């Protein structure tokens, strides 16, 4: 019995140490999680938190791809060991209502199996000329996988040129599991090329880049502990 209690105590200590590390390492994620919950409950209570679709912050090369509250940032963490590969923008409206637009011109593709996702190839990175990058948009479907992607981009679309500001679809809450929908939002990320003309796996943060300089906002969780992200006044 004594040995059993020692084992239990040891497990508790480890859990507490890990939790303490998480709180120290990711305090902003906890604050942002609380704000996301608040926004989803009543977005009209804090309209000053919202960005506007197609707005350009300062002299950023990209325009903002949708409207709403930027709830989670690049390299945020929702759970131990997780690193967020992009940003999440919560529109505060029902599914299929808040429009999503191309942040920059490029060649759009939608894989045949993609219900809620699109990716746009940008041959020449506006901040690092000569480098190819990709912009990725997802959660554009409802919980059952009914797509909100614009009809002009059916599954299987390959390399279709789109201008910045082109309507891509509408925010949804598709997660792949009808019993565990996401909050209604757009997940947007910038994905690196694999050097052979293909995009890398977006699920790994090392295959993505900090979107801050592309959108003219502090969107890196390591550099933004708890500030609400909106375009500076006057932009």
Residue closest to 215 by CA, chosen among 57, 107, 45:
57
Q: What is the pLDDT of residues 3-43, one digit of tens each?
A: 555 444 544 333 333 333 344 445 568 899 999 999 999 99
Is 230 contained in some domain? no
Is 225 contained in some domain? no
Is 83 contained in some domain? yes
In the sheet that holds 68-72, the strands lie side by side as: 50-51, 68-72, 87-90, 186-192, 133-138, 118-122, 106-109, 160-162
Is 231 contained in some domain? no
Q: What is the pLDDT of residues 131-176, one digit of tens each?
A: 999 999 999 999 999 999 999 999 999 999 999 999 999 999 999 9
Local confidence band at 233 (pLDDT 50, 70, 90 cut-offs): confident
Q: What is the pLDDT of residues 97-132, one digit of tens each?
A: 999 999 999 999 999 999 999 999 999 999 999 999
| Residues 103 and 188 sit within 8 Å (Cβ to Cβ) | yes
**DSSP-assigned letters across all residues of 76-126:** --SSTT----SEEEE--S-TTTSEEE-SS-EEEE--TT-SS-EEEEESS-S
Is 84 contained in some domain? yes
| Residues 51 and 89 sit within 8 Å (Cβ to Cβ) | yes
pLDDT of residue 212: 98
Q: Is the pLDDT of residue 85 over 70?
A: yes
Q: Write out the residue range of the structural domain in which residue 77 sits.
A: 2-215
* Domain tally, the chain: 1
Local confidence band at 232 (pLDDT 50, 70, 90 cut-offs): confident
Indicate the pTM of the whole model: 0.88
Is 188 contained in some domain? yes
Q: What is the pLDDT of residues 192-227, one digit of tens each?
A: 999 999 999 999 999 999 999 999 999 999 999 899
CATH number, domain containing residue 40:
2.70.70.10
Is 220 contained in some domain? no
């Amino acid at each position: 019995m004594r040995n059993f209690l020692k084992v239990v105590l040891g497990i508790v200590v480890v859990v507490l140490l890990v939790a303490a590390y998480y709180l120290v390492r990711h305090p902003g994620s906890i604050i942002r999680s609380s704000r996301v919950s608040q926004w989803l409950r009543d977005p009209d209570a804090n309209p000053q938190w919202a960005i506007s679709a197609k707005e350009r912050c300062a002299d950023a090369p990209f325009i903002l791809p949708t409207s709403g509250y930027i709830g989670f940032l690049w390299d945020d963490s929702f759970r131990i060991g997780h690193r967020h590969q992009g940003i999440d923008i919560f529109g505060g409206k029902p599914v299929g209502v808040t429009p999503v637009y191309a942040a920059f011109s490029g060649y759009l593709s939608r894989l045949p199996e993609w219900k809620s996702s699109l990716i746009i190839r940008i041959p020449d990175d506006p901040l690092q000329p000569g480098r190819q990058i990709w912009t990725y948009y997802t959660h554009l479907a409802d919980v059952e996988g009914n797509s909100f992607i614009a009809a002009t981009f059916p599954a299987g679309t390959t390399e279709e040129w789109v201008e910045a500001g082109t309507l891509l679809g509408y925010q949804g809450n598709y997660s792949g599991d009808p019993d565990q929908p996401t909050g209604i939002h757009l997940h947007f990320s910038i994905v690196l090329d694999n050097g052979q003309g293909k995009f890398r796996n977006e699920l790994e943060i090392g295959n993505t880049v900090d979107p801050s300089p592309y959108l003219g906002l502090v969107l890196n969780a390591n550099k933004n502990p708890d500030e609400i992200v909106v375009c500076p006044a006057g932009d």
